[in-house]
Amino acid sequence: MIGLVFPGLAPSYYEDIKTFMQNSPFSKRRFEEASEVLGFSLIEAFKSVGDKDYVVMECAFLANTMAVLDHFYEEYSLSPQVVIGPSFGGIVAAIYVKSISYKEAVWITKESNKLSGEWYERLGDFKTHFVYNLSLNESNKIIEDFKSKGHFLELVGNMESVMCFCGSASTIDLLKRTLNNRPKCFSLHTMGHPIHSEVLTPLRLDVEREVFANVQFKPPTLPIISDVDGRLINQSEQLKVMMSEGYDLPVRWDLVTEQMESLGIKEVYVVGPKNLFYQLLKNKIKTIKVDPDSIIKQAVTH
């Protein structure tokens, strides 16, 4: 059985990916299609995007993921039997299984991020911090210790070798100092807003009411493994719920990989911009990376 993974959102700026964008006809087309929905030039906006330009940042990541997928279609004659879309990758998974169109996905990304930006402002200085080589048990102990001292800290992602925490800026700073005293684990990246957190439940409800309710999700043509609880998604309403749950429930990559093992997946393709999911999978299963760098290298060798 073959699986297809679409990565969650990772920091991606124009300078990091411009070689691919300038040389890929698919990237040009996907950015043009997105621009029609957005009402402005996505590529021009992406060239000067700021950290809080959530609509531009996520729509550009979506466009480039779709462009990489187009290259995948062209290069590989494969028919994956199951799809995995952790976090933001869920919206690309929904496109792949023909539940929504690409333009619908751009509209969803635009409208949901307008709401996200408003809620991030209301919530204040919440951040999300990624830590490498910290176990689930160690993570839970840290959270218990922080809560006992009056600091709100939440585990919003269990990526097995990478744990994701959400808390106020001061709490995240304290977490970093705490981790500095621990051997063999280190901080990776800090996002300037919360993700997959219980503090985002009001945002989730807004998105359900104002965005998802206006899109007709079609039955998926392939099963998707939920990144929230590892269950198989086979119905349109289940897919809509899975995408909604991602706002305020943690990513459980451990449950995703358990489901992959139970299904007997022997090979997986990770399709999208540079991300950590190839690293998470490569030592467990035959993993093929299809990203802008590998596409450019392949074009040069040809």
Domain boundaries, the chain: 2-122+198-301, 123-191
The helix or strand, by DSSP H or E, that contains position 244, with its residue range, turns out to be helix 236-245
Q: Is 135 helix (H, G, I), strand (E, B) or coil?
A: coil
Q: Name the residue with tokens 């779709």.
A: 66
Third-level CATH fold of 123-191 = Alpha-Beta Plaits (3.30.70)
pLDDT of residue 300 exceeding 60, the answer is no
* Matching fold, domains 2-122+198-301 and 123-191: no
Could you read off the pLDDT of 220-244 as tens digits, one per residue?
A: 999 999 999 999 999 999 999 999 9
Q: What rounded mean pLDDT belongs to the chain?
A: 93
The CATH number of the structural domain formed by 2-122+198-301 is 3.40.366.10
What pLDDT was estimated at residue 186? 86
**Amino acid at site 182:** R
What is the per-residue pLDDT for 181?
82
Q: What is the pLDDT of residues 238-268, one digit of tens each?
A: 999 999 999 999 999 999 999 999 999 999 9
Q: Give the mean pLDDT of 42-46.
A: 96
The tens digit of pLDDT for each residue in 158-192 reads 998 899 999 999 999 999 999 988 888 888 889 99
Do 43 and 31 meet the contact criterion of CB atoms below 8 Å apart?
A: yes
Residue 196: which of 234, 167, 230 has the closest Cα? 167
Integer Cα distance of 73 and 35 in angstroms: 23
